[in-house]
Amino acid sequence: MNVDGIREMVKSGKSVEEVIQSLFDKIERSKLNAFITLAKEQALEEARRVDKHGAKGMLGAIPIAIKDCISTRGIQTTCGSKILEGYVPPYDAHVIERLKADGAIIIGKTNMDEFAMGSSTETSYFGPTRNPCDLSRVPGGSSGGSAAAVAGGEVPIALGSDTGGSVRCPASFCGVVGLKPTYGLVSRYGLIAYANSLEQIGPFARNVKDVALLLDVIAGYDPRDSTSMDKKCEYTKELRDDVSDVKIGVPKEFFGEGIDEDVEKAVWSGIKVLEDLGASYTEISLPHTKYSLAAYYIIAMSEASSNLARFDGLRYGLRLGKDKDWHTTFSEIRANGFGEEVKRRILLGTYALSAGYYGRYYLKALKVRTLIKRDFEVALKDTSVLITPTMPFPAFKIGEKIGDPLALYLADVNTVPINLAGVPSISVPCGFVGKLPIGMQIIGRHFDEATILRTAHAFERNTGG
Amino acid sequence: MKPQSYELHMLLSETPGDEMKDVIIGLEVHVQLNKLRSKLFCSCSTQYHDSEPNMCTCPVCLGLPGALPVINEKAVDSAIKVALALNCNIEEQIMFYRKNYYYPDLVKGFQISQYDYPIAMDGKISIEADGEREIRIKRVHMEEDPGRLIHVGTIDRSRYSLIDYNRSGVALLEVVTEPDLRTPKEARLFLNKLRNILEYLDVFDGSLEGSLRVDANISLAGGARAEIKNISSYKGVEKALLFETVRQKNLVRRGIRVAQETRHYDEVRGITISLRTKEEEKDYRYFPEPDLVPLRIGDRVDDIKRALPELPDAKRQRLVKQYDISDHHAKVLTSELKLANFFERVATKVDANLSATWIADVLKGELNYRGIGIDAFSPEHMIQILQMLKNDKITEKGAVQVIRTILDEGGAPPEIVKRKGLLKIEESIITRAVAEVIKENPAAVKDYHDGKNEALHFLMGQVMKKTHGRADPSMVSKLLKEKL
Ligand SMILES: [Zn+2]
């Protein structure tokens, strides 16, 4: 079920209310646990309004699911954490304003790793989400709820956020399309920060066209986000069926050790498909890739340790019965409200920023980041896109890696360099290992979402996706 | 923490006339840029003083999850103005940093402040202590104000506190001095001068509650340094430093080592109390604020410099030169921009020296006595009063009475002079009245010549009666004696 599918249903005589209601029926019977909060009343009311007065905008009457770290006025927003249970934002994120202005109907907030810290959606306080392709497996993360909801046919499109792969990883594991925009293309106003300098809100859909459509709606300059840039174009119009001008770079550091053989094979055959369509490819090198995981985790955890300091239970969120003095109360609230992985990252981040360690860790990580950014700029001078496996392996079993944080961090090896460089990247399904989907990552130049969308679109049309 | 009675005891045991030359003081002065219309990172109003608690807030200044700061460029311009006025070097590019610490008045668990690349460094201000002294400014940086905690009772005994976030996010300027101040009085003089400059620049209104907060570092030469946090009044700074000077000297005298610690000034009790020692000092884990981009300011400095108003020292020199008034008067008149403007309005209409004397000495004294500002008096009224004085229409006493009446009851000079009968009577009229009184009271004249002094008082009274009390009594007495 994609955007066109919904439009067909309405055209063939179903009311919008019936369509939305059928989604809620499906979600309520679902075993996926893709949603934390359903906005049933608001969504059905909006549907009835559309049935009466007609739809408006690019997403008129299209239902959408929103990752639970994006602020929605009047709808609980928890970031998958106990500490924010019951927090109802009094304002809409920029992307939510855009969606509403273009007629989208928000049906609910999706499950995620707590504060987006994870690659499996298992660290959520609200329980793990299951992969629709195999219920015993994780959907990836941290935007696992959004990816699973789209893959499971519970909603046609969804928003996630991507700090180090959190859109692309679950897109890959669930067999849907997911895009991380260039840093600065989509306003972060209202996105509850995990690591501000790395993350972007990104769209999920079942095909590239719908991803482009959703990007058309959410991208654009917002004066409320100082890192936002006025660089948007009309992405749906860029999806012409021609990749003859596309020069593909294949970075050798993203293949080989640690990458599942089947995954590598599927991505290579994807590259061959594009070659058959007229694109050319060369093997290239991104020499500083091996430092990216370390740099990424230092920067992300450092920023996170500061971002998460505001959750003290004083103004919103978790309260624990009787208040004691300030220090005791906020310490107890944080001890009680945060999960293990969040605490681990706050501690590591605090350590990395401490006097005497700042230069050794944080500053060094920023220097590495500059080198990695330069790697990409150099590589993308002679090529128009880079293609790699999105994830080193397909979806793993629930519980399989949760006890081994380091193994989980290693899963991000192909996605985090992209966030460090700030370039855009899309994951498209490119095959299966058994019934488990494989994702192919197409990386582009800064603000050149058009080319990666067009390449992904051409690939998808010629592989029956 | 030692019991306060012990500290008070030490204060009282101080021997008078103790030298203070070995005291070293440095100040960190936080001033609100309260002339700005909006806060530092959001568009909420800075005019919260008449608002209900927590009403001048938005997701940004409440630090709600997901809200992002956007720099108020007008605040940056104000800060550049100040930096120029304090003779600082201005950075080409500025950056904001996060200062991480937990406190209930801090909505995000960090304060957006500056660290490397602050707005300005290496400035100076001259103050007039015993002779002119130059106080070096180490750095000037911008940061956001936290909310306001209202302790029920005192900070160390309060059972609970209330928080008002209206103040949260207001632009603060932190001015840090080198440890160049030598006495608590110099600290006060420095603050007065700083306030004066900021008000000349029209970036600061020092009369608003909470607009200024000072952290003072104080040590005796060679000794450990105590930091007194959050003193919120000009007088409080001097008092706290005085207390601390005495406390440290007494410790030294008793052979006790002064501890490096952070202390709180209790305005009500007039003492400082220990908050935490060095071992508990915080690591603020500064790092660049990722939600704000570095800001180039180099290219706007020249424009701001050109538009800079005349500053107190320059104005003082000009007033002396242009109006030929005394340096003392010029100093008093320029101690407040409004006062200087008032003077210049008046001095263009009446004699400048007369204006200077009457404004700097008389009017300022009457205003200070009543604890009110120059706004309470109109320059037009001053011009009228001085013109009447100059034209011999009223006496000096009468002029003072007009000023007092305006301040206490209101009204305009001509009407007050009339109502209170302050118009000075000409000598010829008094002479005529004296002649009449002598003629009409032969008995009293005789008594006077017989040496009865009361007779003169009687005759004077008769003259005053005839002139309806408007005659200058000294002149009446003089004329009577001549004629008798
Ligand atoms: Zn605000």
On the question of pLDDT at B377 being above 70, the answer is: yes
Chain-centre distance of CA A10, in angstroms? 29
Neighbours of A31 (CB within 10 A): 9
Hey, are the CB atoms on B291 and A326 less than 8 Å from each other?
no
* Distance from residue B207's CA to the centre of ligand 1 (Å): 23
- Integer Cα distance of B179 and A372 in angstroms: 44
How far does B21 lie from chain A, in Å, by closest CA?
A: 36
Cα(B462)–Cα(B479) distance, rounded to whole angstroms?
Answer: 13
Question: Which residues of chain B does A305 touch, with a Cβ-Cβ cutoff of 8 Å?
Answer: 100, 285
Question: Looking at chain B, how many residues does it have?
Answer: 484
Report the residue of chain A nearest B98, measured CA to CA: A306
CB contact under 8 A, A354 and B285: yes
Distance CA A205, CA A150 (A): 6
A166 has catalytic annotation? yes
Q: How far from B225 is each of A345, B218, B221, B260, B329, CA to CA, in Å?
A: 36, 6, 9, 5, 39
Look-up of token digits 């499996």: A120
- Shortest CB distance from A192 goes to which of B66, B71, B291? B66
pLDDT the model gives residue B3: 39
CA of A91: which chain B residue's CA is closest?
B59
Q: What's the B164 CA to ligand 1 centre distance in angstroms? A: 13
Instruction: Give residue B279's pLDDT band: very low, low, confident or very high (50, 70, 90).
Output: low
pLDDT at B280 (0 to 100):
60
Cβ atoms A55, A170 nearer than 8 A = no
Tell me what the mean pLDDT of segment B105-111 comes to: 96
Read off the pTM: 0.89
Q: What pLDDT score does B12 carry?
A: 45
The sheet with strand B97-100 has its strands ordered as: B110-113, B97-100, B287-288
CB contact under 8 A, A91 and B59: yes
Residues of A in contact with B115 (CB under 8 A): none
Contact B119, B91 (CB under 8 A): yes
Task: Count Cα neighbours of A368 within 13 Å in the Cβ-side half-sphere.
Answer: 24
Contact A50/A16 with Cβ under 8 angstroms? yes
Q: How confident is the model at residue A464 (pLDDT cuts 50, 70, 90)?
A: low
Residue A103, token pair as written in the block: 């007629």
Judge contact between B137 and B177, C-beta under 8 A: yes
Q: Break chain A into its structural domains and give their ranges.
A: 3-238, 294-359
Structure tokens at B15: 């021997």
Instruction: Find which of A175-179, B21-25, B431-435 is predicted with most confidence, using mean pLDDT.
Output: A175-179
Q: Do A310 and B104 touch (CB under 8 A)?
A: no
| Section B4-8 average pLDDT | 45
In tens, the pLDDT along A367-387 reads 999 999 999 999 999 999 999
A41-73 pLDDT, tens digit each: 999 999 999 999 999 999 999 999 999 999 999
Measure CB to CB from residue B66 to each of A71, A227, A327 and give the nearest one. A71
Give B303 Cα–ligand 1 centroid separation in angstroms: 29
* Intervals of CATH 1.10.10.410 along chain B: 427-483
A384 is catalytic: no
**Beta strands across the sheet bearing B120-129:** B89-90, B120-129, B131-144, B171-177, B23-32, B212-220, B226-231, B261-266, B271-277
pLDDT of residue B5: 43
CA distance B199 to B31: 11
The DSSP bridge partners found for residue A191 are A70
Q: How far apart are alpha carbons A202 and B295 in whole angstroms?
A: 28
Which residues make Cβ contacts (< 8 Å) with residue B441, sequence separation at least 6?
Answer: B458, B459, B462
CB pairs under 8 A between A and B: 101
At A372 the pLDDT is: 98
Which pLDDT does position B204 carry in this prediction?
Answer: 94
Segment (H or E) for A67? strand A63-67
The per-residue pLDDT for B20 is: 43
Report the residue from B62, B100, B163 with minimal CB separation from A306: B100
- Distance between CA atoms of residues A442 and B346, nearest Å: 77
Report chain B residues touching chain A, CB-CB < 8 A.
59, 62-71, 98, 100, 102, 104, 107-110, 163, 283, 285-287, 290-293
Position A352 pLDDT exceeds 70:
yes
Token output for A383:
């090529």
pLDDT(A245) > 80 = yes
Rounded average pLDDT over A258-264: 94
What is the percent of chain A where pLDDT is above 70?
100
Q: Does domain B427-483 have CATH number 1.10.10.410?
A: yes
Helix (H) or strand (E) holding A20: helix A16-29
Residue B465 burial (CB < 10 Å; 0-12/13-18/19+)? exposed
Query: Do the beta carbons of residue A184 and residue A231 sit within 8 Å?
Result: yes
CB contact under 8 A, A309 and B100: yes
Q: What is the identity of the amino acid at B267?
A: E
Q: Do B102 and A70 touch (CB under 8 A)?
A: no
Confidence of residue B278 (pLDDT cuts 50, 70, 90): low
Q: What is the DSSP letter of B310?
A: P
Where does A3-238 sit in CATH, by number? Answer: 3.90.1300.10
Residue A415 in this model has a pLDDT that exceeds 90: yes
Q: Is the pLDDT of residue B157 over 50?
A: yes
d(CA B311, CA B83): 13
Residue numbers in A near B97 (CB within 8 A): none
pLDDT, averaged across chain A:
96
DSSP string, B241-285: HHHHHHHHHHHHHTTPPPP-EEEEEETTTTEEEEEEEGGG-----
Q: What DSSP character marks residue B138?
A: E
In the predicted structure, residue B6 carries a pLDDT above the cut 60: no
pLDDT tens-digit series, residues B98-107: 999 999 999 9
Cis peptide before A142 (omega within 30 of 0): yes
* Interface with chain A: mutation pick from B107, B287, B292, B295, highest number of A CBs within 10 Å: B287
Q: Please, what's the b/e burial string for A307-343 (b: 16 or more CB within 10 A of its CB; e: otherwise)?
A: bbbbbbbbbbbbeeeeeeebeebbebbbeebbbebbe
> Encoding tokens for residue A129?
């989400």
Q: Are A345 and A81 in contact (CB under 8 A)?
A: no
pLDDT exceeds cutoff 90 at A407: no
Residue B259 tokens read as 């501890």
List chain B residues with CB under 8 Å of A361: none
Give SS3 for A69: coil
Contact B108 A310 (CB under 8 A): yes
B35 C-alpha to ligand 1 centroid (Å): 16
Query: How close, in Å, is residue A405 to chain B by CA atoms?
Result: 25
Structure tokens at B152: 């029920």
Q: Enumerate the residues of chain B whose CB falls inside 8 A of the CB of residue A311.
A: 65, 109
Amino acid identity of B444?
Answer: A
B-proximal residues of A, 72-111, CB under 8 Å: 77, 79, 84, 87, 89-91, 93
**Residue A435 bears catalytic tag:** no
**For the segment B433-455, what is each residue's pLDDT rounded down to a tens digit?**
888 888 888 888 888 888 888 88
- Dihedral in degrees, nearest 10, Cα atoms A144, A149, A153, A158: -100
Question: Which residues in chain B are closer than 8 Å to A310, comparing Cβ atoms?
Answer: 63, 65, 107-109
B336/chain A closest Cα distance in angstroms:
39
| pLDDT value, residue B119 | 94
Q: Are A457 and A239 in contact (CB under 8 A)?
A: yes
- The catalytic residue among A71, A124, A142, A384 is A142
Record: contact A225-B98, CB cut-off 8 A? no
Residue B147: CA count within 13 A, CB half-sphere: 29
User: What CA–CA distance (Å, rounded) separates B413 from A51?
Assistant: 76
A349 touches chain B (CB under 8 A): no
B424 — pLDDT class (breaks 50, 70, 90): confident
How far lies B165's CA from each of A306, A353, B103, B147, B471, in Å? 20, 28, 13, 4, 62
What is the Cα–Cα distance from A38 to A75, expressed in whole angstroms? 9
Name the active-site residue from A71, A120, A166, A425.
A166
Rounded-to-10 torsion of CA B13, B17, B22, B27: 80
